[in-house]
Amino acid sequence: MSTFARFPARLQQAIASRLGWTSLRPVQELAGEAILDGKNAVVLAPTAGGKTEASVFPALANLIEAPAQGVGVIYVAPIKALLNNQEERLGTYAEMVGLRRFVWHGDTAERDKRSFIREPAEILMTTPESLEVMLLSPRFPAPKVFADLRMVIIDEVHALAGTDRGAHLMSVLERHRRSSRHDLQRVGLSATVGNPEQILEWLRGTSAREGVVVNPPKSPARREVSISMHESVAALAQEASRKAADAKSLFFCQSRALTEAVAERMRGRGTEVFVHHSSVSLDERRAAEERFHHGTNACIVCTSTLELGIDVGDLDRVLQANAPSSVSSFLQRMGRTGRRTGQTANTSFYCEDEEAVLQAAALVELAREGWVEAVPVQMRCWPVLVHQLFALTLQYGAISAERCWEQLHVVPDFSGIARPEFDELVEHMKGIDFLFESGGLLSMGERAERVFGRRNFSELYAVFSSPVLYRVQTATGGDLGSLEQSFVDRLVEQMSAFLLAGRGWLVEQVNHQEKTVRVREAPRGQKPSWGGFVPALLSFELAQRMKALLVEESALPYLCESARRAIEARRADLGETLRRPLAVQLDEDGARWWTFAGGRINHTLKYALEWREGWKVVADNFLLKIRGAGIAHASFEAAIREIAGDEFWAAPETASGLLARIPEYRLSKFQDALTEAQALEMLGGYLLDPAGTKAFLNSISQDRGPAPNQ
């Protein structure tokens, strides 16, 4: 029996009459069968491939056959914009069978929330942070509202798995499932993920249901790719303007600063240009989405804010400044095009330098080979464990450590943390006044209340820090967006200029009391420094594919002449060196080791060489620059042999020696609550890869053969 035939008659009739569908897509048939059978599922399909309906239709079938008392289904999206974008669609699907949906996030009016609490809709659309708020709010009766909760649908699950926000979501779901009398069915939706079976196991949590990955065969699709190189941002923007003319385009940039610079230089070239990133005001972002959705001949210059499945209508082109850091992002962005019959999915890369050209080409080649990154699954997520300890003390007023452990140790992202380690964390937090214990019950300590207790503990509702933001306003009171305080602190009235919303602004006045920056339009803007200082890390696989492109002699048909010359120049410069097993260049100042091993392995090598040899090492994703006394081929190879040995990595002092050298990067606002060892472990997990480094060194040793003295 087909999935469609298993749907209740009311749903079948609505799909046929209201939507005009005569059949379901393969992914909807397969996913519907699994979900109707009560299985947990990860559903994979391209962007606009029907994943939403694949999960929502069987959810509606369940709600029709067994009406829910309160909320029966939760739909979770990683960002509010995706919720807003899906609101109308899910509302239509629910309404056409006589059910309701409600959207709850930070922008939802309080009167609407109160109405929902009095009479909950069957489908709740929300974010992980809002689910936390529901548990912490004394005015939200979670046990009543979620007593009949059966299913959770997580859209864009790849954007959450393996991250702190994913750990947070799983923690909150496990706390919510205590209110329900059902074994919560978990359904994750994704377009691109390299390890769906692992994501399914992570998503399962405490559920005893069977699980299945729904990944129907995909018919080969035509794709058009071009890569070009340009001497400046201005030249890049000018060329992109020609491509964007008479078309609807998204132009992805890797930073807010570049987004602003590109948009400024594209204006006035015949295409209407909008800007979309997290520091542009909500009203401007919505205006861009709305006008773009209903208009023509427009280009939205954006960061990753439009990478997820936000529907801005049928696109003609995707443009990319430089290159994203993963195949997954590349495919996600390209997948925004090619949706109409007869249209081809496409991406045009506009690169500023040779490295960006090489990275873009490597992404294309990996995608052609069918390779996509695996989403890392974590089991020792210390900062979110701290967050959840605080949240539980707020939820219950006071709670025992035993009860905290009972609720938290079942979360997959904490499964690698043993009870003695948990107890050590609790004792440490008590010792530094982040937790207070009385009568065997834990509550929030005075220090934690000072740090997180302002504004009704709103700093605890989100896993990520909320930076102090200054509103940017025109002389007439128009709201342009926001700037972080660290940037505002460097502004000088009547002198400093910056770019925001695609235009240049001159600072007239900074009001630190009201947290505002008053500006007037400037003829030319100066790029603000948006970025942080934590290094951006490329994967081993991507870096190795970039190396292979330099060693190979093959022609890449999608390279424009400028990009082709760039790669040929790099091949002439490095090709011969990279063909050697140990690609080292020596000069009078030291050595350059072209590993192309990616950021985490290279930083592990950096700290290992600094610790064992006393050398000064600078590392990026491709190269280690090594300076020190007496560096020669013999001494360098001896150092590599030493750190490649099993004894080096098995020694306890190796781990502590490497961790001790890591700068005090700030990766989480809950970092200060961790013990020194736990904080170092968190930093090491981000920056280091000892197992991968050892495997990389062993592969080099095998290629080189035995050392002369062996």
Q: For residue range 299-329, what is the model confidence (pLDDT) as tens digits?
A: 888 877 666 655 556 678 999 999 999 999 9
Domain's final residue, options 368, 391, 426:
368
Task: Over range 130-145, report the average pLDDT.
Answer: 93
Q: What distance in Å separates the CA atoms of residue 144 and residue 301, rounded to the nearest whole number?
A: 45
Residue 477: per-residue pLDDT: 80
Q: What is the pLDDT of residues 267-300, one digit of tens each?
A: 877 778 888 765 555 666 666 667 666 666 788 8
**How far is CA 105 from each of CA 100, 114, 116, 136, 230, rounded to the nearest angstrom?**
17, 13, 13, 14, 42
Residue 222, both tokens: 């035509």
Residue 71 and residue 51 share a domain: yes
Question: Residue type for 407, please?
Answer: Q
User: Band of the pLDDT at 376, cuts 50, 70, 90?
Assistant: confident
CATH number at residue 194: 3.40.50.300
- Confidence band for 468, pLDDT divided at 50, 70 and 90: low
Flag whether pLDDT at 531 surpasses 70: no
CB atoms inside a 10 Å sphere around CB 454: 10
Model confidence at 449, in pLDDT bands (50, 70, 90)? confident
User: Quick check: 530 pLDDT over 50?
Assistant: no
Same domain, 62 and 209: yes
Question: Could you give the number of structural domains in the chain?
Answer: 5
Q: Which domain holds residue 245?
A: 223-368
> Quick one: pLDDT band at residue 247, thresholds 50, 70, 90?
confident
Lowest mean per-residue pLDDT among 429-438, 450-459, 549-558: 450-459
**363 and 295 assigned to the same domain:** yes
Rounded Cα distance between 374 and 302, Å, is: 25
Query: Does any domain span residue 374?
Result: no
Confidence of residue 125 (pLDDT cuts 50, 70, 90): very high
Q: Domain check: are 128 and 250 in the same one?
A: no
Q: Considering the domain boundaries, does residue 709 fall inside one?
A: no
**538: in domain:** no
Last residue of a domain, one of 368, 400, 433: 368
433, 453 Cβ separation under 8 angstroms: no
| Tens-digit pLDDT profile for residues 143-201 | 999 999 999 999 999 989 999 999 999 999 999 999 999 999 999 999 878 899 999 99
Helix (H) or strand (E) holding 101: strand 101-104
3-state secondary structure 494-548: CCCEEEECCEEEEEEEEECCCCEEEEEECCCCCCCCCCCCCCCCCCHHHHHHHHH
pLDDT of residue 529: 36
Whether residue 127 sits in one domain with residue 55:
yes
83 close to 105: Cβ distance less than 8 angstroms: yes
Cα 528 to chain centroid distance, Å, stands at 23
Residues contacting residue 62 through CB under 8 Å, at least 6 positions apart: 36, 72, 73, 150, 151
Do 583 and 594 touch, CB atoms closer than 8 A? yes
- Does position 708 have pLDDT exceeding 80, yes or no? no
pTM of the entire predicted model: 0.85
Last residue of a domain, one of 214, 236, 255: 214
Tokens of 694: 């050892």
For residue 345, being part of any structural domain is answered with: yes
Residue 258: per-residue pLDDT: 87
**Hey, what's the torsion of the CAs at 61, 64, 69, 72, to 10 degrees?**
20
pLDDT in tens, 82-117: 888 789 999 999 999 999 999 998 889 999 999 999
What tokens were used for 276?
A: 């979309």
17 and 120 share one domain: yes
308 shares a domain with 282: yes
Task: State how far the Cα of 199 lies from the Cα of 143, in Å rounded to an integer.
Answer: 28
Do residues 69 and 188 both lie within one domain? Answer: yes
d(CA 540, CA 602): 9
CATH number of the domain that residue 410 is part of: 1.10.10
Amino acid at 224: E
Q: How many CA atoms lie within 13 A of 649 on its CB side?
A: 18
Are both 473 and 441 inside the same structural domain?
A: no
d(CA 382, CA 77): 24
Closest CA to 102 of 111, 93, 113: 113
Residue closest to 103 by CA, chosen among 113, 114, 94, 93: 113
Distances (CA, A) of 475 to 128, 478, 500, 516, 517: 37, 7, 15, 12, 10
User: Interhelix angle for 401-408 vs 419-431, to 10°?
Assistant: 130
- Output DSSP code: residue 373: P
Whether residue 406 lies inside any domain: the answer is yes
Does 566 fall in a domain? no
Residue 673 lies in a domain: yes
Same domain assignment for residues 244 and 206: no
* Domain-embedded: residue 527: no
449 lies in the same domain as 510: no
658 and 686 housed in the same domain: yes
